[in-house]
Structure 1
Amino acid sequence: MNSLTGLDDYQLIVRALSDRIVEAQTPIRVLDAVKWDDGIREGFLKHKGKKLPAVDRAYYANRPLGFDATAKKQEFQAIERDITRQLGQFNPVGQIMRRMCREYRMVIRMLEARGTEDFGLISQDLYGAASDAFHAGDPTLADLGLMFSDYLNNIDRRGDLEDEPKNLNAKQAVDLLQHRLNKVFGEAEDTIRVFESDGILADAAAGADYIKVRADALFNERDVRALEVHEGLVHVGTTLNGLNQPVCTFLAKGPPSSTVTQEGLAILMEVITFASYPTRLRKLTNRTRTIHMAEEGADFLQVFEFYREQGFDMEVSYSNASRVFRGSTPNGLPFTKDLSYLRGFIMVYNYIQLAVRKGKLEQIPLLFCGKTTLEDMRTLRQLVDEGLVVPPKYLPPQFQDLNALSAWMCFSNFLNHLSLDRIEADYANIL
């Protein structure tokens, strides 16, 4: 915890309110609350994927949240009320903290509604829906997913872009990842640790100051590079920058709105460091497409078959399909958190493009000063000027070099104005 020494009376008030938000959100663990246990997977595989997983409203009722939902909502209501009383209605940092309180109350309502239609509807409010447009007249996320799929199918048909073999076991991946992160964060024991874990579904997961790698997973060097930039430079980096905040400690913890920005930053980092690759993009595209399928009425078996048709085995297909319906029922509305990757990427990319076009380069590194949300960026700039927020201590090299980033975005801004359909017609004889 950061020291209170040297803070003035106003900063101490903000810090106390911020600390209350951090403390109040501690027991809320969304992914733990919505995941299905191993028994569901075993039952599904036992029936050879022909019977819907045995998950209904009663299933979640037997898996309590670990906190009193009513009392927790009242706690956030009280914090929100005290923010207004102590800081006023229009105080900028107060507006951010009040929104966080409202968002956490909505998260609790979503978790209370596990196994019902309301769960999916609130999920859409928090994380968005696949049918959402970015701007009036623009393609939706579902359109983007189909467009990406077409591109990837064209690449697949080449047949010569195979993934590198996964020749690194978990221990080798841990050692390599730790070595790479030490170069960025230093080798002090209190910065970032990488270790093996048995208890995770994904290949890797980031915590406050650590990354855990699934003990039975296999990797190649490109995978490790992607983990370095995605989990390390972005997720752990922004957490450490949030923990480094002397006043606005809430920046170390992220509600769903910051998930979209965080995952968008992470995917953008994968792209600009050349750490991403078609198979990785296919995984993100599939998540968007299957969420849209579920929004349109597809059930678990249909999503499972979608993955089977793509050549995945039964266990992987189950794992991928269960991400769509966790927290819901096998024929209910989806949990839409996995839209955050592509949705966040587009939103963050557009934000950086616009910041370059408007000459507001100083705002770009502030994306990393904690678990930020795009709608707060203008306010964060003001809070840095006031001394309430400190700039990020850990910043990826690509965002330290604003000269190169600006040049790239200037080219990108120009190229966006060209018609790809017209170019395709003009280039038909040479491509």
Structure 2
Amino acid sequence: MDEYQQTVRSLSDRIVAAQNPIRVLDAVKWDDSVKQAFLKAKGKEMPQVDRGYYQARPLAFDATAVKHEFQNIERDITRQLGQFNPVGQIMRRMCKEYRMVVRMLEARGTEDFGLISQELYGAASDAFHAGDPTLADLSMMLSDYLNNIDGRGDLKDEPKNLTAKDAVALLQGRLNRTFGEAEGTIRVFESDGIVADAAAGADYIKVRADALFNERDVRALEVHEGLVHVGTTLNGLNQPICTFLAKGPPSSTVTQEGLAILMEVIAFASYPSRLRKLTNRTRAIHMVEQGADFLQVFEFFREQGFDLSHSYGNASRVFRGSSPTGLPFTKDLSYLKGFIMIYNYIQLAVRKGKLEQIPLLFCGKTTLEDMRTLRQLVEEGLVVPPKYLPEQFRDLNALSAWMCFSNFLNHLSLDRIEADYANIL
């Protein structure tokens, strides 16, 4: 490396080290005693979570020291790279985001927690563009579509007859084949400490020990957690200079989850009940933004057909880090929000003939607003192109053809089509 590259690498490594102790989901989750007390009361009493609950569970790191470290790194970025250096601007924004994350975690159980969450991840009432529908509008529209196909016997989910142990073995074998020479470095194992059915780390995927799966579920996990989350982590770890691409601040969460949902769709790994899970989360967050409390959200999930335990789990995702009457934790908006943003980005890249920018989405924990800068950094040799790419993004022929048609279809009026097709459908 030359002196400039060594400076970037040193600053990047400092960001990676400083964020290492921050574990957002561990800091905001409710322990099992809250769930057991709620179920014992048959879902009739509010969970016993308030500001004092979180204060009795202090953060696993010194929040003040971490904030100061990010402030020092940000100051050194400007001193050593200048105000307008492209990679410096990315790293400074990351430092600001991580300081905001720490402030959010310090505010657990207060209104500020929800307000900072909205600043980091967005709100359900946010519009995609001026005059466009909001995320809440999108979730209601998708729910209507799903209701129209609900009840069809041929769309029912297959029985979940795979235990977590079965799913681990099946998923491990598929990932070993997918990542080739990385075989053996990616571990899939059971875990008791997660809320979701599965969660990806740097070189592993955890599967919830008490969850049941079918083969369609495992396929979705392979695509979502494996091809996207693990793949982008490995590509980030493969960066010789911009090592910060191996770690993702909240702004990259939207891109990551959107990319994962898009991959599920184009790999034909998604299905109606999984899509309903995402729309329900968005609708629940919107309900809380409109004033709903935990019991009302819990009843919403009961009306969707979930039992007591699963309804509690779904509702607690919305309120974790907050209180049962507080503002929501809005991270789960990232799925639908990110999908729309990534889809639009790829559409425009095809329309403008900038196909070379599409695979760069996978070069690490990227953020959509940095894509033009990342292309510049690749050209400068500061960032290396992604090593691990899903098949759908390795050969862009089919994706480009699809997006060309999609660009045209966007100009057609669906209401006019519905009227013209009324006699044949």
TM-score by length of 1: 0.97
Measured after TM superposition, the shift of residue 183 of structure 1 is 1.5
Deviations 1:76-116 (A, max 9, x none): 00000000000000000000000000000110111111111
Secondary structure of 1:212's counterpart equals: strand
> How far apart, CA to CA, are the structure 2 residues paired with 1:111 and 1:172?
36
Residue among 253, 256, 271 paired with 1:277: 271
User: What's the counterpart of residue 92 of structure 1?
Assistant: 86
Name the structure 2 match of 1:165. Answer: 159
Counterpart of 1:305 (choices 299, 304, 314) is 299
Structure 1 residue 291 corresponds to structure 2 residue 289? no
Task: For 1:66-105, list aligned pairs within 5 A.
Answer: 66-105=60-99
- Which of the numbers 322, 327, 330 marks the counterpart of 1:333? 327
SS at match of 1:186: helix
Whole-angstrom CA distance in 1 between matches of 2:67 and 2:371 = 27
Question: What residue number does 1:430 align with?
Answer: 424
* Mapped contact 1:132–1:141 kept (Cα < 8 A): yes
Partner of 1:206 in structure 2?
Answer: 200
Structure 1 residue 297 displacement after superposition: 0.2
- Bigger Cα displacement from structure 2, 30-39 vs 182-191: 182-191
Of residues 115, 122, 139 in structure 1, which corresponds to 2:109? 115
The structure 2 residue matched to 1:354, chosen from 348, 355, 359, is 348
In 2: Cα distance, 1:27 partner to 1:190 partner = 26
Paired position in structure 2 for 1:318: 312
In the TM superposition, residue 216 of structure 1 has moved relative to its aligned partner by: 2.1
Show CA shifts across 1:94-153 (max 9, x none).
Answer: 000000000001101111111111100000000000000000000000000100000000
Counterpart of 2:388, as a letter, is: Y
| Cα RMSD for the two superposed structures | 0.9
Cross-structure match for 2:148: 154
Instruction: Encode CA deviations 1:332-375: one digit per residue, 9 max, x unaligned.
Output: 00000000000000000000000000000000000000000000
Partner of 1:363: 357
C-alpha displacement of 1:157: 4.0
Tell me how far apart the structure 2 counterparts of residues 190 and 362 of structure 1 sit (CA, whole Å): 31
> How far did 1:189 drift?
5.0
Out of 2, 6, 17, the residue aligned to residue 23 of structure 1 is 17
Q: How far apart, CA to CA, are the structure 2 residues paired with 1:225 and 1:367?
A: 22
**Equivalent residue number for residue 132 of structure 2:** 138
In 1, the alpha carbon distance for the partners of 2:261 and 2:3 equals 40
SS at match of 1:196: strand
Q: Which of 34, 38, 43 is the equivalent residue of 2:37?
A: 43
Query: Is 1:176 equivalent to 2:170 in the alignment?
Result: yes
* Structure 1 residue 27 displacement after superposition: 0.5
Measure the CA separation in 2 of the matches of 1:199 and 1:382: 41
**Cα deviation 1:352-406 (Å, max 9, x = unaligned):** 0000000000000000000000000000000000000000000000000111110
TM-score by length of 2: 0.99
Give, in whole Å, the separation in 2 of the partners of 1:118 and 1:152: 35
Tell me the residue number matched to 1:14: 8
User: Which residue does 1:238 correspond to in 2?
Assistant: 232
AA aligned opposite 1:266 = A
Residue 176 of structure 2 contacts residue 184 of structure 2 at CA under 8 Å; is this kept in 1? no
Using the TM superposition, name which of 99-108 and 61-70 deviates more: 61-70
Gaps of 5+ in 1: 1-6
Pairing 1:222–2:225 present: no
Question: Is the contact between residue 171 and residue 196 of structure 1 (CA under 8 Å) also seen in structure 2?
Answer: yes
Quick one: distance in 2 between partners of 1:58 and 1:201? 22
For residue 399 of structure 2, give the secondary structure of its aligned residue in structure 1: helix
Task: Specify the alignment match of 1:4 in structure 2.
Answer: none
**By how many angstroms is 1:199 displaced?**
2.3
Query: Quick one: distance in 1 between partners of 2:183 and 2:392?
Result: 25
Post-superposition CA distance 1:7-61 (Å, at most 9, x none): 1110000000000000000011100110000111111111111111000011111
Q: Hey, what's the Cα distance between the residues in 1 that align with 2:402 and 2:303?
A: 38
